[in-house]
Amino acid sequence: MEMTPYQLANNTPLTLSPNFILPEDKRPNLSEIINHEVPRELCQKVLAVVTEFFQLPPEERAQYLTKDHSKQVKVFNYYQKYEGIGKVTMWSETFSHPWHPTENFTHLLPTNPPQYREVFAEYARAIGVLFDRLLSLISRGLGLDKDCLKRRIGEKPGLHTIANYYPACPDPELTMGLPDHNDLGSIAVLLQVEGVTGLQVIKDGKWLTVDPVPDAFVINLADQTQVLSNGKFKSIGHRAVTKKLLPRLSLGMLYTPSEDAVIGPIEDLINEEHFPKYRNYIFKEYMEEFYWQEGKRRRVPIYGYY
């Protein structure tokens, strides 16, 4: 039966009857830039198991609460410190663990939901392939050989997952899900649940909302990519706001240089016209400085429950 939009809006489930369907070459092509090759079902599955984890009773997640920075698998809350005010806890809860090499930590991952380990391992494999593609594309975009960035990031990159759960918030005007920050490492691949906005990026002093695009990842370039590219690629300032009616989940896969990697503008990008904009440093130095600025310039973890 053909329906009018009015009838359609009042009928569930929503399906398009043939009178709404455009010829193929006239369709809006909303997914034309989505070519990452990570299967949609896998993305949906990983978001589902992580959501289930956050919906477990708090006592179950409490086993992962720790003050020990070196713990591989941990639950924590971010906070921000403001002069004269002190610590303000963010309206979110974070679950963090490595994503590679899986044999080192899989036995520490949740057994509830029961599919967590298996689904996560499959997702990590797919994202590993995506990172390799991103690193070679960025290298080539800079006019360098395709292995250049990966080589500079080092033999033992830090490969961590950050799952952020933002409960529905009674007053989003009074708090923040994550404060304004830049990511510390080199690249982050972020997957957001569809239909709930929250991520914002800063451009020309204004906060812009990054709506989740079905099937798409958000690729955040972080501080070390800015330095290695001598400023050609910018590390993006971003934050997450909360929603009154809906909880939100995002799953970030991070790629961070080896602690001993020497980070600085790649030599081939430096010449008489292009002076280095940053000095060389050992990545560990940068991390120590980052933690030294605890909760001020950027966010850092605290190990508490709200």
- Interacting residue ranges for ligand OGA, rule: CB under 6 A: 162, 164, 178, 183, 190, 192, 198-199, 238, 240, 250, 252
Rank residues 163 and 266 by Cβ distance to ligand OGA and give the closer one.
163
Half-sphere exposure of residue 186: CA atoms within 13 angstroms, side-chain side: 27
**Is omega for the bond preceding 13 within 30 degrees of 0, making it cis?**
yes
Place of tokens 């940068």: 286
The reply on whether position 223 binds Ni ion by CB under 5 A is: no
Q: Which stretch binds Ni ion (CB under 5 A): 76-84, 183-191, 228-236, 268-276?
A: 183-191
DSSP 8-state class, residue 264: S
Closest CA to 185 of 91, 254, 264, 110: 254
Rank residues 42 and 201 by Cβ distance to ligand OGA and give the closer one.
201
Measured from the Cβ of residue 233, the count of other Cβ atoms closer than 10 Å reads 18
* Torsional sign, CA 39, 40, 42, 46: positive
**Burial (CB count <10 Å: 0-12, 13-18, 19+), residue 201:** middle
Residue 123 Cβ vs Ni ion, minimum distance, rounded to whole Å = 19
- 164 close to 94: Cβ distance less than 8 angstroms: yes
What residue 242 binds from ligand OGA, Ni ion, none (CB within 5 to 8 A, per partner kind)? none
Q: Which stretch binds Ni ion (CB under 5 A): 44-52, 66-74, 101-109, 179-187?
A: 179-187
Rank residues 142 and 162 by Cβ distance to ligand OGA and give the closer one.
162
Residue nearest to ligand OGA (CB): 250
Q: Which helix (H) or strand (E) holds 127?
A: helix 116-141
Rank residues 146 and 181 by Cβ distance to ligand OGA and give the closer one.
181
Rank residues 229 and 235 by Cβ distance to Ni ion and give the closer one.
235
Residue 238 Cβ vs Ni ion, minimum distance, rounded to whole Å = 6
Strand-pair category, 199-203 with 206-209:
antiparallel
Rank residues 46 and 251 by Cβ distance to Ni ion and give the closer one.
251
Residue 10 Cβ vs Ni ion, minimum distance, rounded to whole Å = 41
Phi first, then psi, for residue 97 (nearest 5°) are -160, 165
Q: Which of 54, 61, 159, 183 binds Ni ion (CB under 5 A)?
A: 183
Place of tokens 């993305």: 43
What residue 164 binds from ligand OGA, Ni ion, none (CB within 5 to 8 A, per partner kind)? ligand OGA
Residue 162 Cβ vs ligand OGA, minimum distance, rounded to whole Å = 4
Residue 237 Cβ vs ligand OGA, minimum distance, rounded to whole Å = 10
What residue 250 binds from Ni ion, ligand OGA, none (CB within 5 to 8 A, per partner kind)? ligand OGA
Strand partners for 89:
79
Rank residues 211 and 289 by Cβ distance to ligand OGA and give the closer one.
211
- 78 close to 95: Cβ distance less than 8 angstroms: no
Residue 186 Cβ vs ligand OGA, minimum distance, rounded to whole Å = 13
**Burial (CB count <10 Å: 0-12, 13-18, 19+), residue 271:** exposed
Rank residues 159 and 190 by Cβ distance to ligand OGA and give the closer one.
190
What residue 162 binds from Ni ion, ligand OGA, none (CB within 5 to 8 A, per partner kind)? ligand OGA
Dig out the tokens for 62 from the structure.
Answer: 């409490």
Tell me the residue type at 114: P
Site of interaction with Ni ion (CB under 5 A) = 183
